[in-house]
Structure formats: structure tokens, C-alpha cells
Amino acid sequence: MESRYKKYQTIERLNEVEGKEVTLRGWVYNIRSKGKLHFIILRDGTGICQCVVFSGNVLPEIFESAKSLTQESSIIVTGMVKKEERAPGGYEIDVKDIEIIQITNDYPITPKEHGDAFLIEHRHLWLRSSKQHAIMRIRAAVIKAIRDFFDGNGFKLMDSPLLTPNACEGTSTLFETNYFDFGKAYLSQSGQLYAEASAFALGRVYTFGPTFRAERSKTRKHLTEFWMVEPEMAFFDLNDDMELAEDLVEYIVQFVLKTCQQELKTLERDTAPLEKVKRPFYRMSYTEAVDWLIANKVPLKKYVDGKEVDIHPFPWGEDFGTVQEEAIMEQFDKPCIIHRYPTDVKAFYMKRDPENSKVVLAMDMLGPERAGEIIGGSQREDDYDLLLERIKQHDLSVDDFQWYLDLRKYGSVPHSGFGLGVERVVKWISGAKHIREVIPFPRMIYRITP
């Protein structure tokens, strides 16, 4: 027996029912009246559509009751679907009947301009606005593209735990919690270490979930809770890792272009730069990037006694910040991978380059259009003794990492992986100005509500 809900019609699929009678359920996005006509812009979550109420087509009490409709009142509308090029979405409903579920009073978000602080405070309602709606649909498409890409390329989803006994990406950004008799536990900064164990069991895996960073950074690109997909592959070296990262990003961007044209239009996103996101991308070693910074007189910005000072020439060995990343990316119309970073600025698990132990086999993918770092990854240290030495150098507890060291004891193989930040990618593709707009309910150092 077919379930009833499967017959519910949606605005998104009106093209399938042109000339037929439909029933749509939704909310009034806007209403205006002119004599014997009401024009209701209805939104149902899948799209918006103009519903025309003509007094001659409905019972007098229905026409009268439509006068009381307000923004965000919930209604059920029945009528005939007509093609109408000028209407948003290309279709219009000739209304026969309206059932009012609730009349909304004083909806706080009106079509007039509101400040950012007000909107984020009302995030639970702001999500209904057309631009936020479009961003959320692009987010869903990005996540679908990621899953399709990995599932279609022989990867298995292997979830890593979120409550962990130790750090993965440095101890300074850990969220702590009490964990029964064990003392402290931490919210996961990355599922990678567990993904490595999973890769040794299943070959190619990906872990996909929320990650937590007690980041002090108040930028447009940092959240304290964000979603990361982390593939991990046995027998992949750094080069395989970089090629996989490029294939993934190309796939995501092209998938969004294919499936989200309407959303990109709502956001007034210029899609020309996105069309270009096809392999080959650019690549530069960290050392080449430093040479470029020096040649182009881009300094290191440092805080000395609370004051920002410029250090020239950029010193080899320092990590890049927004200033350097944006300067480097200014010349590129596609993503660029920077590889082989200084050992001292990167995580303990990265494998040192056999040709130069001052650098690790790491890679960061930077996006064009000021997208910043969208991917961070590396080939992993697969030698027991070298990894042990790095754990000690980083002042991490050898006991906590014994299980991780086991992977280097029982059938160790070269392996690699990376993490892609979902929100960084959605922000870039959608053109949103702040990362808080690309996750349903953002968590930042100064916000945990709604």
C-alpha cells in the first residue's frame, strides 16, 4: 500500500503536474491584495510559488479570510497549476480553496533590512529567509556530493568516536568534559586517528561528523563546532592523497553547479569562477610559496606587546595566516595545494619527508576567491620508532597513544588522508560572507544560542 505522504505535492515538483489540481502546504512568504485579487507568495520548504486568489473563483468567506493572512501564517492551498514565465519558479496556482492553520502575529523578521546581530539571535526563524534557505540547500548538496563521491569510489563510512581520551590536533583547542571514573575526556578535534585504524581494517574509509575546536579565533572562517569529512587510505602516499583531494573538490563544485542553479541565482553568486574548478589545480611547495611571498614583499604579521608588526622578509619556518594565504591565492583562479610544510608547525602524526626532514609530507588546499584553507591532510608517519619520538617531542602521553602505535607494529603500511571542512566549502561555493550562515545553528566563542 502506498503511504499517504508520498502523494503530498511540493512546489519543487510543480513541473510534473502542470494543468492539474494540487494541494500545497506551507507558509505565507508575502501577500498583497488588489481589488478582487490576493497574490499570496507561498513557501513550502522546497521553493516559493505565487498563488492567485480571484474572488470569482473561491467562496466569498474564503476570499474574506485571505485578507487576514500575514507573513508566516501557515496554510493549505488547493488550486490549478499554470505555467507562468514571470512568476518565481515559473508556475502559478489559480486558487480554489484555502485552509488556514494558524495566523501569525508580529513575525520578527520582515522584508526590511535587519542587522546581523538581530538575525543571528533569531537564527531559528532566519533559516526560513530565501538566502538562508538557498545556502542550506547548497549545504545539503555539498554533503550529498561528498557521500556519493566516496561511496562511488570504493570507500566505506567508518564513524570515529566524538568522546576521546586524547588530542589529535594540538592540546590548546580541546573542549574538556568529565568522564565518570576516568577523569577528563575531550570532544573530538578530528576523527583521523581512529580513521587510520579503520583504514587498516577496511582499506579506504571516510569518517564524517562534527568536530570541536575551542578556537579563540573570531574570524569569518572559524566555528567551534564544524563538520569535517576525513578519508583515510591504506597504501596511499602524499601524491595519491593530493590527487584524491582534487578529484573530490572538483566533484563537489560541479555537482552543486549541476543541481543548485536556482539557489546560486537566489544568492546572486557569479558562477563563472566555479565553472573553472576542474583539474589540474595548482600546486606549490611551502618553500616555493615562501620564495613567492619574499619576492612579492608579503610580510609575516606578528603581535609584539599587543601591537602588530610586519616582519620582512617572510621567515622560512613560520606558518601561513590569512594574509599570506590570500596573497598567494590572488594569482590563482582555481584551488592550490601547498605541500611539504615545516615539521615544527604541523601535527605530530605527519611523516617527515625522507628527502628533507625539516618538512613533513603535509598538504593544505587553499580555495580561490578568499576561501582560505578548505582541506588539510598528510601522509602519516608509519614507522613505530619515529612516531614514538614525535609523540614524546610533542609532550603527549605515550600510554594514551599505545593503541595508535600498535598500528605501526602490526602490518604497518604507508597511508594518507585529509580532512575537508564542510562549512569552509559551503561558504566558498555559496559566497556567504560569514561562516555562521552556512551551518544551521552556528557555535562560536561568543555564541551558543539558539
Closer by beta carbon to Mg ion, 120 or else 284? 284
Give the shortest CB-208-to-Mg ion separation in angstroms: 17
- Is residue 282 within 8 A of residue 339, CB to CB? The reply is no
Give the shortest CB-346-to-Mg ion separation in angstroms: 8
When CB distances are held under 5 to 8 angstroms depending on the partner's kind, the choice from Mg ion, ligand 4AD, none that residue 192 binds is: ligand 4AD
Within 13 Å, how many C-alpha atoms sit on residue 417's CB side? 32
Give the binding range for Mg ion (CB under 5 A) out of 55-63, 95-103, 315-323, 370-378: 370-378
Residues 449, 443: Cα–Cα separation, whole Å: 8
Q: Name residues contacting ligand 4AD, limited to 106-165 (CB under 6 A).
A: none
Give the binding range for Mg ion (CB under 5 A) out of 68-76, 182-190, 375-383, 430-438: 375-383
Closer by beta carbon to Mg ion, 91 or else 428? 428
Residues 363, 347: Cα–Cα separation, whole Å: 12
Residues 428, 138: Cα–Cα separation, whole Å: 11
Write the DSSP string, 114-168: --HHHHHHTHHHHTTSHHHHHHHHHHHHHHHHHHHHHHTTT-EE-PPPSEESS-S
Closer by beta carbon to Mg ion, 89 or else 209? 209
- C-alpha radius of gyration, the chain, whole number: 26
Give the shortest CB-213-to-Mg ion separation in angstroms: 10
Give the shortest CB-364-to-Mg ion separation in angstroms: 6
Question: According to the binding rule CB under 5 A, does residue 372 interact with Mg ion?
Answer: no
Give one word for 252, left, alpha or beta, with left for phi > 0 and alpha for psi -120 to 50.
alpha
Question: According to the binding rule CB under 5 A, does residue 367 interact with Mg ion?
Answer: no
Closer by beta carbon to ligand 4AD, 77 or else 362? 362
- Is residue 374 within 8 A of residue 249, CB to CB? The reply is yes
CB atoms < 10 A from the CB of 89, how many? Answer: 16
Per CB under 6 A, the list member of 72, 230, 263, 325 interacting with ligand 4AD is 230
Beta bridge partners of 366: 336, 373
* 206 Cβ contact list (under 8 Å, min separation 6): 150, 155, 156, 157, 158, 195, 229, 230, 231, 232
Length of the chain: 450
Q: Which of 404, 419, 410 is nearest to 194 (CA)?
A: 404
Q: Name residues contacting ligand 4AD, limited to 338-377 (CB under 6 A).
A: 373-377
Give one word for 45, left, alpha or beta, with left for phi > 0 and alpha for psi -120 to 50.
left
CB atoms < 10 A from the CB of 244, how many? Answer: 22
Give the shortest CB-321-to-ligand 4AD separation in angstroms: 14
**Cell, residue 49:** 510559488
Question: According to the binding rule CB under 5 A, does residue 421 interact with Mg ion?
Answer: no
Give the binding range for Mg ion (CB under 5 A) out of 32-40, 113-121, 368-376, 390-398: 368-376
When CB distances are held under 5 to 8 angstroms depending on the partner's kind, the choice from Mg ion, ligand 4AD, none that residue 335 binds is: none
Q: Name residues contacting ligand 4AD, limited to 388-427 (CB under 6 A).
A: 417-419, 421, 423-424
Question: According to the binding rule CB under 5 A, does residue 376 interact with Mg ion?
Answer: yes
Give the shortest CB-213-to-ligand 4AD separation in angstroms: 5
Question: According to the binding rule CB under 6 A, does residue 223 interact with ligand 4AD?
Answer: yes
Give the binding range for Mg ion (CB under 5 A) out of 126-134, 291-299, 351-359, 372-380: 372-380
How wide is the angle at C-alpha 165 spanned by C-alphas 159 and 169, nearest 5°? 75
Give the shortest CB-390-to-ligand 4AD separation in angstroms: 15
Give the shortest CB-273-to-ligand 4AD separation in angstroms: 19
When CB distances are held under 5 to 8 angstroms depending on the partner's kind, the choice from ligand 4AD, Mg ion, none that residue 417 binds is: ligand 4AD
Q: Which of 375, 152, 378, 336 is nearest to 245 (CA)?
A: 375
Give the shortest CB-20-to-Mg ion separation in angstroms: 53
Question: According to the binding rule CB under 5 A, does residue 377 interact with Mg ion?
Answer: no
- Helix (H) / strand (E) element for 23: namely strand 21-34
Q: Which of 320, 321, 389, 315 is nearest to 351 (CA)?
A: 389
Closer by beta carbon to ligand 4AD, 228 or else 260? 228
* 48 Cβ contact list (under 8 Å, min separation 6): 11, 29, 41, 42, 88, 89, 130
Question: According to the binding rule CB under 6 A, does residue 192 interact with ligand 4AD?
Answer: yes
Per CB under 6 A, the list member of 159, 215, 243, 318 interacting with ligand 4AD is 215
Count residues binding ligand 4AD (CB under 6 A): 23
Chain residues that interact with ligand 4AD, rule: CB under 6 A: 168-169, 190, 192, 213, 215, 222-223, 226, 228, 230, 373-378, 417-419, 421, 423-424
Q: Which residue ranges make up the site for Mg ion (CB under 5 A)?
A: 376
